[in-house]
């Protein structure tokens, strides 16, 4: 069975909570999602840093501002694109890729509605 989300909850300040169709619950911290972005830009950066550990990070990644997930958009019925506060928005997280990077952490408690 292909993993598909049953419910998605983007928590801007902390990350993405997913309840999967098989009952598993996953929580992806915002920083993990940004670091694991499947975009070509991020893949090139990872390759550059593996080749040269002294490579300089782009200014947007070295920012001291708190990284937040500003918005998310469903891409068809197979993926989600997340827009981050550092301007990054080109990574498309397919359901299978998202499941493959599941950190296995229990989700934080839901924030009460204000």
**Does 111 fall in a domain?**
no
Q: Is residue 13 part of a domain?
A: yes
pLDDT averaged over every residue in the chain? 82
Domain-embedded: residue 36: yes
Q: How far apart are CA 80 and CA 23, in angstroms?
A: 19
35 lies in some domain = yes
| Residue 56 included in any domain | yes
Residue 111 is given by DSSP the state: P
| Whether the model pTM is above 0.85 | no
CA dist 74 and 81 (Å) reads: 6
Q: Which of 70, 73, 67, 94 has its CA nearest to residue 2?
A: 94
| pLDDT tens, position by position, 24-61 | 999 999 999 998 888 756 666 666 667 777 766 565 55
- Per-residue pLDDT at 50: 74
Residue 91 lies in a domain: no
The count of structural domains within the chain is: 1
Residue 49 domain boundaries: 5-82+96-100
Asked whether residue 2 carries a pLDDT value surpassing 50, the answer given is yes
Contacts 24+ apart (CB under 8 A), 17-21: 17/107, 18/98, 20/99
């Amino acid at each position: 069975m292909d993993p598909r989300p049953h419910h998605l909850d983007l928590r801007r300040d902390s990350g993405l909570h997913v309840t999967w169709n098989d009952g598993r619950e996953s929580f992806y911290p915002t920083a993990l999602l940004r670091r694991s972005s499947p975009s070509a830009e991020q893949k090139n950066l990872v390759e550059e840093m593996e080749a040269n550990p002294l490579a300089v990070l782009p200014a947007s990644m070295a920012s001291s501002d708190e990284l937040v997930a500003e918005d998310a958009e469903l891409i068809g019925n197979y993926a989600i694109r997340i827009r981050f506060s550092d301007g990054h928005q080109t990574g498309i997280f397919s359901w299978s890729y998202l499941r493959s990077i599941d950190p296995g952490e229990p989700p934080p408690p839901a924030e009460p509605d204000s």
